[in-house]
Structure 1
Amino acid sequence: MDTEAMRSFVRAAELGQLQRAADELGVSQQAVSKRIAALERELGVRLFVRTARGVEPTLDGQAFLPHARDIVRGVDRAVTAVRPGSRALRIDVLGLRSAQAVVLHDYWRAHPGLDLDVVTLRVEDPQVAVDAVRTGDVDASFRTVTDRAGLPPEVRQVPAFDSPLELLVGPRHPLAGARTLAPAQLRGYRIWLPGIKPRSEWERFYDELVAAFDLRIDPTGPNFGSEVLLDAIADSADVATLVGARDRYAWPASHDLRRIPVAGPTLAYPLSLLVPSADPHPGLRPILDHLAGLTPPAEPVWHPSWASHAG
């Protein structure tokens, strides 16, 4: 079975678009399509369906994906084993518009000679990211294990940086005219955060946030992506959401959305980095030094209870 075809399938499934997969793999979209078509013929099943946004795995594709990912990782590990030091520094981020990706991009612009590979594992369970760091599939991952007992000895968790939260509202929302907001001023308003996974680090964060400030966090409904969420906020007079201050979002000018800092105290999401306990990639140390030098949020700051256990 062609491992490059499986690699094309895995990246297309993770990115949701054949063109983005082709760009990342350094080939044409036609080449990716041909590889996947050949794989489908060999397997005797359809792996993708086309959507308005790109492609999505079929049920067979979803079943095949974790096994294909394991094969591709195994091939990469085999190649790396005979070419030590040849691979780029590979860091997992939650999304390419996330605060983690923004910070890494700022660092790379100041150090353009760095061979950096920013990836998204597209997993909700931080233990999967822990395993990816342990096995060397990635050199570091911006994930947090809130219970340190869940870390194997081969992986350690270090503080990365605090991500202050902002309230995002549409122009008709009652808080749209505010320049800053205290957490107490958010009480009673619906803060929509669809798709929070049970037992995830985000569920624990927002559970503690609700308990501390009596906020109305609404996690109902599937997460259809940021575009759908932003459209809903723009059309609503009562729905808001919380975003990270460094997170990058783009919306039509007609949406007229407002990002309002929350202060007194600042609500800070503590981002952590999972790294190998021994023999980390040589390019990782400068990244850690850069993260340590980032400007912290304005005091006073509220953190969840598990933030003190991040280091």
Structure 2
Amino acid sequence: MDLDTVRTFVAAADAGQFQEAAAELAVTQQAVSKRIAALERKLGVRLFSRTARGVALTIDGQAFLPHAREMVRVAERAVASVRTGRRPLRVDVIASRGAASGLMRGFHRSHPDIDLDVLMLLEIEAAVAAIRSGAIDASFRAVAAPGCPLPEDIESVRVLDEPLQLLTGPGHALAGARSVTVAQLAGHRIWMPGLVPGAEWTAYYDDLVAEFGLTIEATGPNFGSDALLDTVADTPALATFMGGDTRLIWPAGHGLRLIPVTDPTPVYPHSLLWHRDNPHPALATLRAHLATTAAGHGASGTGAAGSWTPGWAR
């Protein structure tokens, strides 16, 4: 059923005259008459009868009117749901406890009037595909990893350089250190079961290993951060890397230690990705917000003095 004919029927029913309905719809009176006639043929009933003052609804027209109004309302809601600025801004943060989630919480605190949908996508390929299809508006990623160039229609900007810290249990040989250099980590087993082939963070840690001769193990299933913390707390031979802006809570009895890594400090480069033709006004607001905070997060895009990022991130 053609929606324009239904909308024309509602306008004529409200106005009681085809001429007034035509003026409201910015069409000719003849167009209104043709639309009503087409709708009556479609339904097989007469919807209006002629009166001295214009037109009046027939019994069938009165029965059809509330349903016609609902059809128009549903169509208007459908359009509003995708109209620029009327739907929530949809952003992928990868994980709920990571640095990107913290950036979005800060944005929400600064702009509580902007509706947000926060999603968590694992693979960068899925995130880029969702951006290109319009399923999401933006994603936080470490971009330009070897073999993973961004499509030409995807824009990116560096928004956060997150320093890595060493997380150990109380029995680890480095547990008492106030800080450790990268060189001091050589020979220690660093366990990171969340590294999966093809992920941008796996490319990052592969380069870290190659650059400094570290030992990073990704063996065993990834049962999540809680299981990782339990294992590190109970196993003196294991440590792990933890982002400085990652939010984790562990039992006080674990006795876990977070130790800064220096000379140089490995930093994980977070970037915001979006489609260059995305018109959502809240996306521009998010980018402006992140631009004001990026300097404080050291997101220069070139690597601050005393820090390290892979060459592809610079």
- Structure 2 length normalisation: TM-score? 0.68
- 2:248, 2:132 → 1: CA distance? 32
Q: Which residue of 1 aligns with 2:240?
A: 241
- Per-residue Cα deviation, 1:100-128 (whole angstroms, up to 9, x for no partner): 1012112222332222221112x32x111
Q: Is 1:302 aligned to residue 308 of structure 2?
A: yes
Q: Which amino acid aligns with 1:119?
A: L
Q: Percent same amino acid among aligned pairs? A: 48
Contact 1:99 1:246 in 2 (8 A): yes
Q: Which residue of 2 aligns with 1:93?
A: 93
User: Match of 2:172, SS?
Assistant: coil
Q: Which amino acid aligns with 1:248?
A: R
- 1:128, 1:145 → 2: CA distance? 15
Q: Which residue of 1 aligns with 2:212?
A: 213
- Structure 1 length normalisation: TM-score? 0.69
- Per-residue Cα deviation, 1:264-285 (whole angstroms, up to 9, x for no partner): 2110111122101123421122
Q: Which residue of 1 aligns with 2:187?
A: 188
> How big is the shift at 1:152?
2.5
- 2:82, 2:193 → 1: CA distance? 44
Q: Which amino acid aligns with 2:306?
A: P
Q: Which residue of 2 aligns with 1:142?
A: 140
May I ask how many residue pairs the two structures share in their alignment?
229
> How big is the shift at 1:255?
0.6
- 2:151, 2:136 → 1: CA distance? 16
> How big is the shift at 1:90?
1.0
Q: Which runs of 5+ in 1 are unaligned?
A: 1-77
Residue pairs, 1:223-302, within 5 angstroms: 223-292=222-291, 293-294=293-294, 295-297=296-298, 299-302=305-308
Q: Which runs of 5+ in 2 are unaligned?
A: 1-77, 299-303
**Distance change in 2, residues 1:280/1:303 (3 Å):** farther
> How big is the shift at 1:185?
1.1
Contact 2:131 2:137 in 1 (8 A): yes
- 2:226, 2:207 → 1: CA distance? 27
Contact 1:195 1:220 in 2 (8 A): no
Contact 1:195 1:221 in 2 (8 A): no
User: Match of 1:269, SS?
Assistant: strand
- 1:149, 1:106 → 2: CA distance? 29
**Distance change in 2, residues 1:170/1:282 (3 Å):** same
- 2:209, 2:276 → 1: CA distance? 34
- 1:84, 1:114 → 2: CA distance? 13
- 1:187, 1:136 → 2: CA distance? 45
User: Match of 2:253, SS?
Assistant: helix
C-alpha RMSD over aligned residues: 2.0
